[in-house]
Amino acid sequence: MPVIRTKRFLLRPIEKADAPRFAVLCNDLEIARHTARIPHPYTHEDAEIFVDQLITARIKGDEHAFAVCRDREIIACAGTLQTGEHSWEIGYWVGADYRGDGVASEIADAMVQFAIGEMSAASVTAGYFIDNPVSGRVLTKIGFRDTGETVMITSLGRAQPVSSHRLELDVAEFSGAREVVIET
Ligand SMILES: CC(C)(COP(=O)(O)OP(=O)(O)OC[C@H]1O[C@@H](n2cnc3c(N)ncnc32)[C@H](O)[C@@H]1OP(=O)(O)O)[C@@H](O)C(=O)NCCC(=O)NCCS
C-alpha cells in the first residue's frame, strides 16, 4: 500500500493502532452529520469497527483510506472507494481543530491523483450533502463539476436520508498539485 506525500501532509495506510485517535476525532457532530457512515455519539468500539472495515477493504482492494498526518499526528482522513470497473469515488473529513486551513483541498486533490495514478480511474466522482457548501467548494476548487443530479443518502449521524449533490471530474482535464508524490 503506497504512502502519499502532499505539500504539508503524509497520507499513510490506516492501522489498528489508530482506532483511539479516530475515536476522538470522529466524535464530532459536524463529521457525523456530513458523512454517511459515522454515527453520533461515536465510541471507541465504533472506531475499532471502522478501522477493521477499512483494513479489510484495503486487502480486498475496493477501498483505500488514508490517515492524514501532520508531524505524525492524525488530523484528517481521506479515501477512495471503487464504484465501477474504472470508477472511483473520493471522500474526506478533517478534524475540528484543523479546519479552515486548506487541509481538505490538499487531501482531496491527493485522493484524485491516487485514484487516477494508482487505481487507473477513468471516472472520479464525489458527493456532498446539500447543507454542506464548504465541501462543495473544496470539490469545485480542484476541478469537480456539479452533474445537476441529487440522490438521497442515509447519514448515520442524522439517522435519516439527506439529499446529496453528485459531482464528477473530467479526468483528461485534471492537473493536480505538483507537490504530490505517491510512493509505492
Ligand atoms: C468540509 C470539510 C472537509 C472542509 O475542510 P477544510 O479543511 O476546512 O476545507 P478547506 O480549508 O480546504 O476549504 C474550504 C473552502 O470552503 C470555503 N468556504 C467556507 N465556508 C463556506 C461556505 N459557507 N460556503 C461556501 N464555501 C465556503 C472556504 O473559503 C474554502 O475555499 P477557498 O480555499 O476558496 O477560500 C470539513 O469542514 C469537515 O471535515 N467537515 C465535516 C465532514 C465533512 O463535511 N466531510 C465532507 C463530506 S462530503
Establish if 109 belongs to a structural domain: yes
Confidence of residue 84 (pLDDT cuts 50, 70, 90): very high
Segment 12-30, tens digit of pLDDT = 999 999 999 999 999 999 9
Confidence of residue 115 (pLDDT cuts 50, 70, 90): very high
Domain containing 33 equals: 3-126+174-183
- CB 87 within 8 Å of CB 121: yes
Establish if 68 belongs to a structural domain: yes
pTM: 0.97
Q: Residue 111 sits in a domain of what CATH number?
A: 3.40.630.30
Establish if 143 belongs to a structural domain: no
CA–CA dist 155, 90 (Å, integer): 17
Residue type, 87: S
57 CA → ligand 1 middle, Å: 27
Establish if 169 belongs to a structural domain: no
Is pLDDT of 167 > 90?
yes
Establish if 90 belongs to a structural domain: yes
Counting the structural domains of the chain, the total is 1
Q: What is the pLDDT of residue 45?
A: 98
CA–CA dist 130, 133 (Å, integer): 7
Establish if 100 belongs to a structural domain: yes
45 CA → ligand 1 middle, Å: 28
pLDDT, mean of residues 28-49: 97
- Residue whose cell numbers read 464548504: 134
CA–CA dist 105, 145 (Å, integer): 15
Is pLDDT of 1 > 80?
no
Establish if 7 belongs to a structural domain: yes
Is pLDDT of 184 > 90?
no
Our mutation pick for probing the ligand 1 site, out of 27, 38, 138, counting the most ligand atoms within 8 A of Cβ, is: 138
138 CA → ligand 1 middle, Å: 6
